[in-house]
Amino acid sequence: MTRRSKSPAKKPAKTQVLRTISALRAWAARARAKDETVALVPTMGALHAGHLGLVRLAKRKASRVVVSIFVNPAQFAPNEDFSSYPRTWGADLAALSQLKVDAIWAPSVATMYPEGFAIRIEPGGPAVAGLEDKFRPHFFGGVCTVVAKLLLQVTPDFATFGEKDYQQLKVVTAMARDLDLPTEIVGLPTVREKDGLAMSSRNAYLSADERATAPTLHRVLKECAVQIKERRPMVDVLAVGRAKIEREGFVVDYLEARHAETLVPITDLKNGPIRLLVAARLGRTRLIDNVGV
């Protein structure tokens, strides 16, 4: 039997589920009144080890952690997978409780976007780099609008984001800086399956055959990175890499070398640091990945 303390402060606190903005604000105010630091982990649920890595990072940064779970309609185009996006509330709650997350912020769509909602953030800079934005033009406006709302609702000291969505990490970092938001954006390296596939809630869409093919993306990115470091001509390296990916049955949206901070196109190793970024469709599933050179 575990020893119980009489002091309420020492009881292992249960993960609280917050569903209204007033409950969230009260939770954050209580933390601040006790001089606690707060980290926010924004997610769309369907949690996997990548998300749990963000939670662990958040716990190292701050004394209180709140994880938001909200499938944000504003970042999906009408032809995208908003309604079929995986929703696994029971498993998410169990995983976050096990990690002793302090609170889950789980607003409804009506709470986040009440009738008459009319404001949308229009990010520039890394959000118009010609990568994800070229294929999902609505995406970063939707992401910035919801992340700005989350950051203003919680006003955390830290918010953690994955390098898996590398352009998104740069966009959110630029937004926090440009809007003077009092939150430090902290990145986490991509968490991968044993075979190199970047973990993603959308991997659940892959058939068994597609799942076997999917690690090609990371394998080719790594090969390209090695060859670029060996000073082979970058244009050729990327063209061969693209062909290899296509040969496996992917439809490639982009495979590009960009400056790791500004995301501007880069053709020479000496203008780095370089990040290689790829997006490709396998059947009905769109996968993205990236590596540093």
How many Å apart are CA 293 and CA 289, to the nearest integer?
13
Q: Nearest to ligand AMP by Cβ — which residue? A: 162
Task: Choose between 41 and 234: whose C-beta lies nearer to ligand AMP.
Answer: 41
Spatial CB neighbours of 90, under 8 Å, sequence gap ≥ 6:
none
- Name residue 64's beta-bridge partners: 38
Q: What is the smallest separation between the CB atom of 46 and ligand AMP, expressed in angstroms?
A: 7
How many Å apart are CA 160 and CA 167, to the nearest integer?
14
Task: Choose between 44 and 274: whose C-beta lies nearer to ligand AMP.
Answer: 44
Residues 25 and 69: beta-carbon distance below 8 Å: no
Q: What is the smallest separation between the CB atom of 5 and ligand AMP, expressed in angstroms?
A: 34
Number of Cα atoms under 13 Å in the Cβ half of residue 253: 18
Is residue 48 flagged as an active site residue? no
Other beta carbons within 10 angstroms of residue 255's beta carbon come to 25
Q: What is the smallest separation between the CB atom of 182 and ligand AMP, expressed in angstroms?
A: 19
Task: Choose between 58 and 266: whose C-beta lies nearer to ligand AMP.
Answer: 58
Task: Choose between 43 and 216: whose C-beta lies nearer to ligand AMP.
Answer: 43
Q: What is the smallest separation between the CB atom of 51 and ligand AMP, expressed in angstroms?
A: 5
Query: Can you give the binding site for ligand AMP, defined by CB under 6 A?
Result: 43-44, 50-51, 53-54, 161-162, 164-165, 188, 190-191, 198-201
| The one catalytic residue among 51, 138, 218, 259 | 51
Q: Is the peptide bond before 273 cis (omega within 30 degrees of 0)?
A: yes
Catalytic residue ranges: 51
